Structure 1
């Protein structure tokens, strides 16, 4: 079993690179099947969020999985390599545990990543690319993450991405109560932001989504109204605060659309938070006057509030993680001996059947049961001891000493025996 993980995140790659290798949530299952069917991995799981893209694999040659990633996204491998981290077995296990526990997040201790990892596992299961190794890895990952969050204060004084978005908005507008808020998308990140902004009692809440029904479901929770993405050109100017996070592979808000909205607003400030990867807002929008545009990476400084209070919990969490890594590696090592144990049992079973068949034939001929049992037991003993005895007799020097030590340990022998 060749456990291996690789990827890039907010610490190793800028947003412009991350969005080039992001996977659309609707396309992950097909991507996983393609990865495995091409022989680049035996098992695979893809974790793709706004802050990271990672692959966890059981791969005989990990290099092939990295080549697959570059080819899949039509990027030269040499362009990706400066941003990639590659983690063999032990490091891959530790990394998985740290990510799920919130220790590798932009927001230290944030809980959302755990749900995203569980979703990644469900997609791999549906794609049929989860085997014994990855199933066990993520089973242990979620168990360790639960222990970390239960036994430490890693989530104390947490400032989430959504809370950070509200704080930024409050720097632009004296009061959110006087503003109209537009959410583009209806996924988990938008739902979380809606909770925080709704708590500030904005004048109006609007939810725009590709499917109107999904937008209506979220809008009803906050007495807001729903529109489709096709309504955005006419509706954009009516909103002061825009939070967007969709799975679109192309920008939702272009420079031209925003320019027209600013003109209709007579250049009243427009606050936009783009939490999507790939981005929902064209980068040129940031060049416009009266637009305050923040991306995922721009929020990094705001979410550092409360970090000091959580740092003490990191050491406690790392101890739990190290223990979990040790347990998992022990399980992996035990799996490595399974083929040998199976072969030993099959060999012993073959010898047992041979001696049993011989004994049955002798009994059928009328031989004494006592003699038959004696012969069978002697035959089994000779067959079981032939291979180790032969190996001991043929061994020399250090090999002989090693064989002797193993034989004594296996059969609980003392030196005088």
Structure 2
């Protein structure tokens, strides 16, 4: 089995492609069950966010995993293969560690992806798709990410998606204190955005969500009010800024809805930030002259502060990740050696039992105990050394000798023969 990280992200695929391969949260458990039911998959986890869709697999055939990804989303492989990347074994480990540490994110160092990885691991475990290899991989990635955040400046210089949304709004309106903000959704991304906007003290903040109680809970935390999602379209004209991030498979804000809002606002500008994948706001809205519509891809354009600090932190983080990759590789090698260790111990135990049985028969015949012990020790030593001796006799070159020296901790300069000559 090969460890593989396979998928696409904001660096390799445009938003129009990414939104076609999103795994909806309510269907993720079924998707995992289907994936691990494939004969070529032993373990699997799925990470699906606005910026990436990735499969982490223990698989016999990475190509078949890519085929499954395309087929699941009712796409042909040629439609997405130009955007796919496949990282095998150590490269996969490094990729996961970089993702967990925020080094592979659109906003360098952002912490949200770590929570998303933890949720992916939890989902995979609940679906019975997480085996020992991926379990160890995720736990190690969380540990590496913690070391990166504790020992580098990655976390100190981060510009989050939520902060980027505030920056974009400030470019249009200047002071935020006279603005009215509508948040559509009540998930983690919206909660982070709401916290950042709340820090700028806007005139009003409202939350609309399919589940009204969740909207009310978030609104209370930020000092805002909750409105029904069904009425958000009718009341769109009340807001200067709209931040949307829901799990809807189809847009919930259309061009016609925004056109009506603009007429009611007498063409006063609106900032709309669509953080959802698939998109919550129809792309055609961007064509309206008084609307500034930004998607998750657009947010990357404002991530420029603290560049030198972040680049230095990245070098430090890569060193931590390198150490983590080596540590994981040692663990994998140790697992590979377990069957050999068991076989070796079983072989030695059988030799011990054979020599012990021979010694007991000799004692029963009346042989002297000291002679029996001598024969027991010589017989056991000869049998244990038979394999290494045969190996040295038939092997070619110094490498075999070095292996045996290392195996038995031999020091040629301190052999019994050398000691006698001193």
TM-score over 0.5 for the pair: yes
Structure 2 Cα separation of the partners of residues 31 and 358 of structure 1: 60
1:273 is aligned to 273
Q: Would the aligned equivalents of 1:67 and 1:77 in 2 still touch at CA under 8 Å?
A: yes
2:112 is aligned to 112
1:338 is aligned to 338
TM-superposed deviation, 1:72: 1.0
1:199 is aligned to 199
Q: Would the aligned equivalents of 1:40 and 1:68 in 2 still touch at CA under 8 Å?
A: no
TM-superposed deviation, 1:292: 1.6
Task: Output one character per residue of 1:232-258: Cα deviation in whole Å (capped at 9) or x when no partner.
Answer: 233323222110111222212122332
The counterpart of 2:407, out of the listed 396, 404, 410, is 410
TM-superposed deviation, 1:191: 0.6
Structure 2 Cα separation of the partners of residues 256 and 351 of structure 1: 84
TM-superposed deviation, 1:91: 1.6
Structure 1 Cα separation of the partners of residues 292 and 151 of structure 2: 40
Structure 2 Cα separation of the partners of residues 410 and 174 of structure 1: 71
Structure 1 residues 312-331: aligned runs within 5 Å: 312-331=312-331
2:247 is aligned to 247
Q: 1:357 to 1:68 in 2, by over 3 A?
A: farther
Q: 1:193 to 1:413 in 2, by over 3 A?
A: closer
Q: 1:200 to 1:396 in 2, by over 3 A?
A: closer
Which deviates further from its counterpart, 193-202 or 152-161? 152-161
Q: Would the aligned equivalents of 1:107 and 1:304 in 2 still touch at CA under 8 Å?
A: no
Structure 2 Cα separation of the partners of residues 106 and 406 of structure 1: 47
**Partner SS, residue 21 of structure 1:** coil
**Partner SS, residue 271 of structure 2:** strand
Structure 2 Cα separation of the partners of residues 117 and 330 of structure 1: 23
- Structure 1 unpaired stretches of 5+: none
2:300 is aligned to 300
1:150 is aligned to 150
TM-superposed deviation, 1:138: 2.1
Task: Output one character per residue of 1:255-286: Cα deviation in whole Å (capped at 9) or x when no partner.
Answer: 23323333333433222100011111111221
TM-superposed deviation, 1:379: 4.8
2:290 is aligned to 290
TM-superposed deviation, 1:406: 3.2
Q: Is 1:187–2:184 an aligned residue pair?
A: no
TM-superposed deviation, 1:172: 2.3
Structure 2 Cα separation of the partners of residues 307 and 161 of structure 1: 16
TM-score by length of 2: 0.89
TM-superposed deviation, 1:46: 1.6
Task: Output one character per residue of 1:178-199: Cα deviation in whole Å (capped at 9) or x when no partner.
Answer: 2321111111110111111112
Structure 2 Cα separation of the partners of residues 133 and 279 of structure 1: 35
Structure 2 Cα separation of the partners of residues 50 and 66 of structure 1: 20
Structure 1 Cα separation of the partners of residues 172 and 409 of structure 2: 77
Structure 2 Cα separation of the partners of residues 49 and 255 of structure 1: 25
1:62 is aligned to 62
RMSD: 2.5
